[in-house]
Amino acid sequence: MITVMKFGGTSVGSAEAIQRVANIIINTEGDKVVVASAMSGITNFLVGVVDNPTKDVDAIVEQFANKHLMAAEQMFDGEIMAEFRKEFDIRLEKFKEALQENPGDPYYKDLITSQGERFSTLMLAFYLKKMGHEAVALTAETAGICAVGLPLSGSADLIATENGMSMKVAPVLDKGIIPVITGFYGIKDGVPLTFGRGGSDYSAAVVANALNADMLEIWTDVDGFMTSDPRFIKSAIKIDEMTFGEAAELAYFGAKVLHPRTIEPVRVKHIPLKVRNSFKPQEPGTLIHNIKKKGKSLLKSVATKNDLAIITVSSAELAYRPEMMAAIIGKIAESNIIIYSISTSLSTIAMVIDNADVSTVIKKLNELSGKNIERIDVNNNVSLVCCVGDDLLSKCGVSGDIFTAVKEAGANVEMISEGASDVCLNFIVPMDKVMDVVGALHDKYIG
Ligand code: ASP
Ligand code: MG
């Protein structure tokens, strides 16, 4: 039985947190493979280093080293500290060299921002050793995690990673050693490529896929998936079980508990996933798997995504000109911008994007002006409401029920997406009404 266990930034954010996590690891049965994020705050610090460059490399290295050494000094002394310092200093020297690479290189930011994971995993592996368990700190390089894609938004090459890990990590496991592997990035053409912010969850799913694990556990600082955001909906409760499809939609459309890309690598191999709280290891968390259990209520969860905009492009008889439709979407894709939802009519296409992407999208669409775009309208500051439940498409009256509650909350529905997935129904409302809508839906169909 192989369990891949992922710990996020707060779970490895201090000596105390690392000790707590180490206990969780050693109390887990069977073979364990650990994937960890950087200590909390470290990746943000590294992003700052790249965005506001200074010449004082030594000061950066010192600040970075101190944060880690402060925690290490609380955990290690004597011989184990000397051994730790040896490996720590090798990594620190490499970090210093990395800082002096060419900042104009498209992969420079990936190289710098992926440094934190190399140090958190070293501390965790050494603490496991101190507790008398054989452990080794591996990096994406030494574990064989391979990446493809553009800077700052890589994806794993699952086949190459499976081949790499079966050579590099499986033998370690066979010897009863616990591998502690860096999350957040893989290797493309010999250099680090990160999987996007928060990407360590995805790394862990990739590792589970590559090792054909029996279970993936994502250890975080909340109890699991909730029926809604507990900061706003006081009656929100934890969800015990969900399907991969339900969890994927919720993670994508707003629930911050899991990186949305975590589901796919485990879903394809039917590896169950648990979201658990490292501050409450006695709690079972949320189990995500293939098995569909009929719930009593209409909805299982309601999530929201704020700070969105609807961008509506008008072009005569667009529906009869599929090449124009493709050109519009193609222009947006050129800037790697996510479209959350689309709705079309004879002469218009409306798309939901992040508010922050509006000016880029307009600039891109203006490149098409020769191809007769008549108008572009923008409706800023809207929110997407994502309602998740089982078999929403096959039950009669679901939309009637949902939109009755929205009407009672006094919100105008600006756009609807239904029918694409049988586990979710999404719609757009003005941002200042979104919490009233979620409250009404939660009270009526979940609480
Ligand atoms: N350390 C990275 C970040 O802060 C990856 C992660 O935490 O998942 O984005
Ligand atoms: Mg995270």
Which residues neighbour ligand 2 (ion) by CB within 5 Å? 8, 198
Q: Choose one of 166, 193, 221: the last residue of a domain.
A: 221
- State mean pLDDT over 233-241: 93
- pLDDT value, residue 357: 97
Query: Quick one: 203 and 56 in the same domain?
Result: yes
Of 392, 385, 388, 378, nearest to 428 by C-alpha is 385
- pLDDT value, residue 390: 83
Query: Quick one: 195 and 94 in the same domain?
Result: yes
Task: Establish if 332 belongs to a structural domain.
Answer: yes
| Model confidence at 186: pLDDT above 90 | yes
Q: Among 143-147, 214-218, 303-307, which is the least confidently predicted range?
A: 303-307
Kindly report the protein residue whose alpha carbon is nearest to atom 6 of ligand 1: 198
Confidence category of residue 158, pLDDT binned at 50, 70, 90: very high
Are 26 and 58 contacting, i.e. CB atoms less than 8 angstroms apart? no
Which atom number of ligand 1 is nearest to the Cα of residue 203? 8
- Give the tokens for residue 9: 């930034």
- State mean pLDDT over 271-277: 97
Query: Quick one: 324 and 190 in the same domain?
Result: no
Residue 220 CB less than 6 A away from ligand 1: no
CA angle 79, 83, 85 (to 5 degrees): 115
Q: Choose one of 193, 221, 249: the last residue of a domain.
A: 221
Question: How far does residue 261's CA lie from ligand 2's centre (Å)?
Answer: 12
CATH number at residue 359: 3.30.2130.10
Query: Quick one: 313 and 212 in the same domain?
Result: no
Question: How far does residue 328's CA lie from ligand 1's centre (Å)?
Answer: 33
Pairwise CA distance, residues 34 & 192, whole Å: 20
pTM of the complete model: 0.91
Query: Quick one: 308 and 407 in the same domain?
Result: yes
Task: Establish if 286 belongs to a structural domain.
Answer: no
Pairwise CA distance, residues 120 & 125, whole Å: 9
- Give the tokens for residue 166: 């079966």
- pLDDT value, residue 394: 83
Q: How far apart are the first and last CA of the chain?
A: 37
Pairwise CA distance, residues 108 & 97, whole Å: 12
Residue 203 CB less than 6 A away from ligand 1: no
Query: Quick one: 203 and 308 in the same domain?
Result: no
The Cβ-side half-sphere exposure at 332, using a 13 Å CA radius, reads 24
Handedness of CA 78, 79, 80, 84 (dihedral sign): positive
| Model confidence at 295: pLDDT above 80 | no
Residue 304 CB less than 6 A away from ligand 1: no
| Residue of 46, 120, 197, 261 to mutate, ligand 1, most atoms within 8 A of C-beta | 197
Which atom number of ligand 1 is nearest to the Cα of residue 38? 1
The H or E element containing residue 51 is helix 42-51
Task: Establish if 238 belongs to a structural domain.
Answer: no
Task: Establish if 324 belongs to a structural domain.
Answer: yes
- pLDDT value, residue 391: 80
Residue 183 CB less than 6 A away from ligand 1: yes
Query: Quick one: 89 and 189 in the same domain?
Result: yes
Are 122 and 87 contacting, i.e. CB atoms less than 8 angstroms apart? yes
CATH number at residue 126: 3.40.1160.10
Task: Establish if 266 belongs to a structural domain.
Answer: no
Confidence category of residue 395, pLDDT binned at 50, 70, 90: confident
Pairwise CA distance, residues 267 & 257, whole Å: 18
Query: Quick one: 315 and 180 in the same domain?
Result: no
Pairwise CA distance, residues 113 & 46, whole Å: 5
Task: Establish if 244 belongs to a structural domain.
Answer: no
The predicted-structure confidence for 323-373, as pLDDT tens digits, reads as follows: 999 999 999 999 889 999 999 999 999 999 999 999 999 999 999 867 679
Chain CA centroid to CA 93, Å: 30
Cβ within 8 Å of residue 66, ≥6 positions away: none
With pLDDT > 70 as the criterion, what percentage of the chain qualifies? 99
What mean pLDDT is reported for the chain? Answer: 95
Query: Quick one: 10 and 126 in the same domain?
Result: yes
The Cβ-side half-sphere exposure at 73, using a 13 Å CA radius, reads 6
Radius of gyration of the chain (CA): 24
Pairwise CA distance, residues 429 & 424, whole Å: 16
Pairwise CA distance, residues 112 & 108, whole Å: 6
Which atom number of ligand 1 is nearest to the Cα of residue 200? 8
Q: What is the DSSP letter of 39?
A: P
| Model confidence at 422: pLDDT above 90 | no
Residue 9 CB less than 6 A away from ligand 1: yes
Residue 43 CB less than 6 A away from ligand 1: yes
Which atom number of ligand 1 is nearest to the Cα of residue 184? 5
Task: Establish if 202 belongs to a structural domain.
Answer: yes
SS3 46: helix
The predicted-structure confidence for 159-173, as pLDDT tens digits, reads as follows: 999 999 999 999 999
Q: Which domain holds residue 55?
A: 2-221
Domain count, the chain: 2
Residue 152 CB less than 6 A away from ligand 1: no
| Residue of 34, 37, 46, 218 to mutate, ligand 1, most atoms within 8 A of C-beta | 37
Any idea which ligand is nearest the CA of 198? Answer: 1
Confidence category of residue 248, pLDDT binned at 50, 70, 90: very high
In the 3-class helix/strand/coil scheme, how is 57-104 assigned residue by residue? HHHHHHHHHHHHHHHHHHHCCHHHHHHHHHHHHHHHHHHHHHHCCCCC
With pLDDT > 90 as the criterion, what percentage of the chain qualifies? 89
Chain CA centroid to CA 324, Å: 33
Within a 10 A sphere around the Cβ of 270, how many other Cβ atoms? 9
- Give the tokens for residue 420: 């694409």
Task: Establish if 293 belongs to a structural domain.
Answer: no
Query: Quick one: 17 and 157 in the same domain?
Result: yes
The predicted-structure confidence for 29-81, as pLDDT tens digits, reads as follows: 999 999 999 999 999 999 999 999 888 999 999 999 999 999 999 999 999 99
Confidence category of residue 99, pLDDT binned at 50, 70, 90: very high
Which atom number of ligand 1 is nearest to the Cα of residue 198? 8
Question: How far does residue 235's CA lie from ligand 2's centre (Å)?
Answer: 24
Pairwise CA distance, residues 245 & 185, whole Å: 25
- pLDDT value, residue 221: 87
Kindly report the protein residue whose alpha carbon is nearest to atom 5 of ligand 1: 198
Q: Choose one of 164, 193, 221: the last residue of a domain.
A: 221
Question: How far does residue 397's CA lie from ligand 2's centre (Å)?
Answer: 37
- State mean pLDDT over 404-428: 93
The predicted-structure confidence for 119-154, as pLDDT tens digits, reads as follows: 999 999 999 999 999 999 999 999 999 999 999 999
Confidence category of residue 242, pLDDT binned at 50, 70, 90: very high
Query: Quick one: 215 and 306 in the same domain?
Result: no
Query: Which residue in this structure is represented by tokens 């104009």?
Result: 104
- pLDDT value, residue 55: 80
Pairwise CA distance, residues 118 & 92, whole Å: 10
